[in-house]
Amino acid sequence: MSGQILCKSISCADSSGKMCFHSFNRRAVLPSDIHIKIRYSGVCHSDIHCGKGDWGKKIYPLCTGHEILGDVIAVGSDVKKFKVGDVGGVGCFVDSCRECEECKEGDQQYCSGTNSNGLSGFRGTYAHKETEKLVPGGITQGGYSTDIVVDENFAVKVPESLNRPEAAPLLCAGITCFSPFIQAGIRPGMKVAVAGLGGLGHMAVKIAKKLGAEVTVLTRSPSKVESAMAMGASNVVVTSNEAEVKAAAKSVNLLYNCISASHDMVFYLSFLKNRGTMIVVGLPPEPIANLKAGTLAGRGLSIKGSMLGGMKSTQEMIDFCARHGIVSDIELIPATPEAVDVAWERTMKSDVKYRFVLDTAATLGQEFDERAAKKAKLS
Amino acid sequence: MSGQILCKSISCADSSGKMCFHSFNRRAVLPSDIHIKIRYSGVCHSDIHCGKGDWGKKIYPLCTGHEILGDVIAVGSDVKKFKVGDVGGVGCFVDSCRECEECKEGDQQYCSGTNSNGLSGFRGTYAHKETEKLVPGGITQGGYSTDIVVDENFAVKVPESLNRPEAAPLLCAGITCFSPFIQAGIRPGMKVAVAGLGGLGHMAVKIAKKLGAEVTVLTRSPSKVESAMAMGASNVVVTSNEAEVKAAAKSVNLLYNCISASHDMVFYLSFLKNRGTMIVVGLPPEPIANLKAGTLAGRGLSIKGSMLGGMKSTQEMIDFCARHGIVSDIELIPATPEAVDVAWERTMKSDVKYRFVLDTAATLGQEFDERAAKKAKLS
C-alpha cells in the first residue's frame, strides 16, 4: 500500500528467542496516526515470554519491545496532541475497542470489547492481530525497531527532560506501579512495601517514595540493600532474616508484589497491617498456595490484581516522573541481535540492574545497513 | 461483687454443643455501661463453631449468641447515648483497645491493640477473656440469656420500628454485608452478585437492593429462586445450570461471597466484570484452590476479605435498615435448651429460612424458673 514505511528491526527468528535482523513495513500514516522514529526501547521480561512462545504460539519473525521512546517525525491530518518534533512514548498496547465500559472509563488495558479485527481486548504492541484492512494478515510488531506508526490516542507526550534512555522503561514498568498506586490512594505517611527489587520493583520504590510513602523493600538478596536505600527505601527487609521479618510483621498498608517466580504469597501477606492490600502484578506460574479465605476476612486484607494502566494514567505517570526526575536504572546496549541475545539471557537470570534499554536510533539502522551490505558483498 | 446481676441463660454444657439452663452473674453497671434486658437473640453459625470448640478449646458452660436486641433498663452515670426505655443492640464484640489505628478509625473489628486484660484484638461477645479486675477468671457470655451489661460504646441504639425479633440478626448478619458494601461504594445501577443465600446472603440481597444495586443471586438450589426474587434480586443463577452460568459471565461489579463450605472460588470470579471485586466473608475450611495471581492481574480483579463492621458503621446499618424496613426472614423459637438444640442441628444442615431467633424475654426466664422449681421439688 502506498505510503508504507520500511522499518528495520531486531526480531525473534523463531521460538528459540534468538534474534535476527529483519525488515518489515509499518502502515502508512492515517489521519489520527503519528510516526515515531524510535530512539530507545526497553527490554521487558514479557518480551522474552512472548518471544519464546511461553504464552502461546507466535508467528515469526516477531519483533518485541513495548517500552518505546522516540521522535515524532510525521503526524496525520487529524492529530491534535502531537506535532513534529515532539517526543512520543508507546507502551504495551496500541489500540482497543474504545467503546466498552472499561475503555470509556480510561482503562483500555482491561478492554472488554471486540476490535474491528474481531480480537477481544486491547491490541498489544506486538504479536497481536492487526486490523485486516490496514495490514492484511499482519500482526503487530514492537519496539526493537527503527519506526512505529501509532494512533495518537495510544501514545503519550514525553517531556523533553525525559528524552533519554532511562525513561523508556516508564512506559511499561513505570505505569504498572503508578496506576495501582494512584488507585490505592498512596499519600504522605502511608507505609508501602515493595516485594521483589527488579525492573518493576525498583520503579515502584521510586514512585511510591515520590508519592509520599514510607517505603520498605522486601528482598531475598542482601546485596540489594544498599541500592534499595539509594532509591528511596526507608527500610529493607532481607526475607531470609527471621528477626527482620518479625520486626516488619503487620507494618505496611500496601504491599506491591511484583515477584514473577513461584513464591509463598501468604508469607508476604504477613507484612500487611489489618485492612491492608497486596497488589499483585507478577505472573507466577503456580496457583497461590495455602491461602484461606479466613486469612483475608479475619484481618480485612485484600489481594488486588493489576495490569499496566490506561492511557490517561500513563500520561499522568510520565508527567509525574518528569516533575520528580524519576527514571529507571538501566544498562544501555547496542541494538544488535548479539547484544539483545545476551540481554535476554541475563534478564532471565535476573542479572540486570534494573532494565536493559536498546540504543536504537544510534545503532540499529547503521548496523543493519552495514551487515546487509556485507552480506550482499559475500553473496 | 456488689451490684452484680444474676442472669439466666441457655448455655453449651460442653463441647458436644448440647444446651442446658445455666445462671451466672453479669458485672455491676459501670459508669459507661448500660444494662439490657434481652428480648431476642439470633442464632449465628459462628455460635455453633465456637460452642462446639471448632475454633479452639472453650470453657463451659458457655453462653453463645451475638445478635442481641433488648430494652435498656439501667444506665451508668456517664452514659450519653442511651436512656432507660431505649432499645439497645449488641453484636459480635463488646470491647476493644480503643487506642490502635483501627479502633481510632472506627474499625474496632480489626483492633490490633492489646486490651487491659492482655488480650489482643477485640473482646468477643462470648468466649473471650473478661477484664480480670471486673470479672476475675471470667469469660464473656453471650446473648442466649436474660441480661447483658455492656459499655455504651459497644451497643447501638435501635429505632423502635426495629424492636422485633426479625431485627436481631442485623447485629451480625446485617453489618457483615453492610460494612463492605459501603466501603465498596455500592450505588444505584451497580451490579452486585450474592453467592450463597443463607443467613448472611439473604441480608446482603436486601441491603444491596436498597443501596440501589441490581442484584443477582448465585445459588445451588433451584428451590431458592422464588424467595430470592421476592427479596429483591433481579436475576437468579442456578450454578448447576450451564446456560445460566454462561449468560451471567463477567456481568457484575461486585460479588458478595458468603459461602462457608468448601467451594471453587475461581468459578465465582468468572461472574465478575474486569476490575470487579469479590468480597469474602465466609470461612471455608480449605485453602482457595487453583487461583493464579495472573487471573487477578490480567482482569484487574480483587479479592477483599471482610469481617463484621465497626460500631459507627453498625449504627449506620441499623438506621439504614429502619429507614428502609429491612429485617431478616426468621423462625422464632422458644428459648429452651430443646428448641436451641434443634435449631443448631437444622442450622448445620442449612435447613432454616433464614435465621433462628430466640424469643428470649417471653420464654427464657419463666421456663428457667419453672424447671428449677420442678427440680427442687423432685430432689
- Total structural domains in chain A? 2
Distance CA(B110)–CA(A299), nearest Å, equals 6
- Percentage above 90 pLDDT, chain A: 89
Contact A59, A50 (CB under 8 A): no
Compute the average pLDDT of residues A288-304.
96
At residue B378 the predicted structure's pLDDT band, cuts being 50, 70 and 90, is confident
Q: pLDDT of B326-364, one tens digit each?
A: 999 999 999 999 999 999 999 999 999 999 999 999 999
Contact A283 B294 (CB under 8 A): yes
At B241, which CATH number?
Answer: 3.40.50.720
Among chain A residues, the shortest Cα distance to B266 is held by: A287
Condensed to tens digits (0 to 9), the pLDDT of residues B252-292 reads 999 999 998 899 999 999 999 999 999 999 988 899 999 99
Mark out the alpha helices in A39-171 (DSSP H runs): 45-51, 101-104
The distance of B281 to chain A (nearest Cα, Å) reads: 6
> Residue A118's pLDDT is what?
73
C-alpha–C-alpha distance, residues A239 and A237, integer Å: 6
Asked whether residue B77 falls in the same domain as residue B156, the answer is: yes
- With an 8 Å Cβ cutoff, are A280 and B296 in contact? yes
Query: A306 and B300 in contact by Cβ < 8 A?
Result: yes
In eight-state DSSP terms, residue A326 is -
Contacts of A297 in chain B (CB under 8 A): 280-283, 305-307
A316 in a structural domain: no
pLDDT > 60? residue A43: yes
Average pLDDT over residues B210-234: 96
Q: Are residues A290 and A344 in the same domain?
A: no
Range with the poorest average pLDDT among A105-119, B70-84, B139-153: A105-119
B182, B259, B266, B299, best to mutate vs chain A, most A CBs in 10 Å: B299
| B282 DSSP assignment | -
B12 and B148 belong to one structural domain: yes
Q: Is A137 an interface residue toward B (CB < 8 Å)?
A: no
Identity of the residue numbered A195: A
Q: For residue B40, give the C-alpha cell.
A: 431476642
Could you tell me the CA-to-CA distances from A178 to A44, A123, A280, A307, B239 in Å, in that order?
Answer: 17, 21, 13, 11, 38
- Residue that is last in its domain, among B305, B333, B364: B305
- The angle, 0 to 180 degrees and rounded to 10, between the axes of the packed helices A173-184 and A199-210 is 40
Count Cα neighbours of A240 within 13 Å in the Cβ-side half-sphere.
Answer: 4
Q: How far is residue A360's CA from residue B253's CA, in Å, rounded to a whole number?
A: 43
Measure in Å the smallest separation between the Cα of A306 and chain B Cα atoms.
4
Is it the case that residue B228 has pLDDT exceeding 90?
yes
Give start and end residues of each alpha helix (H) in B76-198.
Answer: 101-104, 173-184
CA distance A244 to A137: 55
Mean pLDDT of A246-270: 96
Which CA distances in Å does B163 have to A21, B72, B148, B200, B265?
Answer: 80, 12, 17, 20, 38
Share of chain A above pLDDT 70, in %: 99
- The pLDDT score that the predictor gives to residue A44 is 96
The reported pLDDT for the residue numbered B133 is 79
User: Cis omega (within 30 of 0) on the bond before A61?
Assistant: yes
Q: Which of residues 178-237 of A touch B (CB under 8 A)?
A: none
- The continuous run of DSSP H or E covering A374 comes out as helix A360-378
CA B184 to chain CA centroid, nearest Å: 20
Which of B112, B273, B281 lies at the smallest CB-CB distance from A250? B112
- Structure confidence at residue A4 (pLDDT): 92
Nearest to A293 among B101, B288, B301 (CB): B288
- B293:A283 CB<8 A: yes
**Is beta strand A68-75 parallel, antiparallel or unpaired with respect to A87-90?**
antiparallel
One domain for residues A185 and A154: no
pLDDT attached to residue A356? 98
| B19 shares its domain with B144 | yes
- Burial class from Cβ neighbours inside 10 Å (0-12, 13-18, 19+) for residue A376 reads exposed
Of the candidates B97, B355, B184, the residue with the CA atom closest to the CA atom of residue A304 = B184
What 8-state DSSP symbol labels residue A275? E
Better-predicted residue by pLDDT, A75 or B121: A75
Nearest CA-CA partner of B309 in B169, B107, B170, B142: B107
Q: CA-CA distance, A361 to A335, in Å (whole number)?
A: 8
**pLDDT over threshold 90, residue A2:** no
Q: What is the tens place of the pLDDT at every residue in A78-118?
A: 999 999 999 999 999 999 999 999 999 999 999 999 876 67
Q: Which chain B residue has its CA at the smallest distance from A176's CA?
A: B297
**pLDDT value for A120:** 81
Among candidates A193, A68, A199, A146, which has minimal Cα distance to A363? Answer: A146
Mean pLDDT across the stretch A18-26?
95
Q: Which of B257, B272, B305 is the last residue of a domain?
A: B305
Is A312 contained in some domain?
A: no
Same domain, A29 and A99: yes
DSSP character string of A218-246: EES-GGGHHHHHHHT-SEEEETT-HHHHH
Euclidean distance between the first and final Cα of chain B, in Å? 30
User: Which residue of A112, A265, A282 is in closest CB contact with B250?
Assistant: A112
A317 falls within a domain = no
CA distance B354 to B360: 18
| Residue, of A269 and B55, whose pLDDT is higher | A269
Higher pLDDT: A120 or A347? It is A347
Residue B1 has pLDDT above 60, yes or no: no
Which chain B residues contact residue A191 at CB under 8 A?
none
Put simply, the answer to whether B291 touches A296 (Cβ < 8 Å) is: no
Answer yes or no: is pLDDT of A119 > 80. Answer: no
B122 sits in the region (left: phi over 0; alpha: psi -120 to 50; else beta) called: beta
CA atoms within 13 A on the CB side of A179: 30
Identify the domain containing residue B189 by its residue range: 173-305
Residue numbers in A near B275 (CB within 8 A) = 102, 107, 110
Q: Are both A281 and A335 inside the same structural domain?
A: no
Residues B107 and B252 in one domain: no
Mutation to test the B interface, candidates A54, A110, A176, A179, most B Cβ within 10 Å = A110
Angle at A245 between CA A240 and CA A249, to 5 degrees: 155
With a cut of 70, say whether residue A1 has pLDDT above it: no
Mutate to test the interface with B, among A296, A299, A301, A308 (most CBs of B within 10 A): A296
Model pLDDT, residue A130: 87
Chains A, B: CB pairs < 8 Å: 118
Residue B222 DSSP label: G
CB A157 within 8 A of CB A317: no
Q: What percent of chain B has pLDDT over 90?
A: 89
State whether B164 and B244 are in the same domain. no
Residues A370 and A226 reside in one and the same domain: no
Q: Is A242 on the interface with B (CB under 8 A)?
A: no
Across the interface, whether the CB atoms of B286 and A294 are under 8 A apart is answered no
Residue with the three cell numbers 499496566: A308
> Who among B257, B274, B287 is closest to A290 (CB)?
B287
A189, part of any domain: yes
In the prediction, which pLDDT does A88 show? Answer: 98
Render pLDDT for A313-322 as a digit per residue (tens, 0 to 9).
Answer: 999 999 999 9
Residues B138 and B252 in one domain: no
**Burial group, residue B314, by CB count within 10 angstroms (0-12, 13-18, 19+):** buried
* Averaged pLDDT for residues B89-94: 98
Same domain, B155 and B31: yes
Q: Check which CATH number belongs to the domain holding A10 and give it.
A: 3.90.180.10
Residue that is last in its domain, among A305, A338, A369:
A305
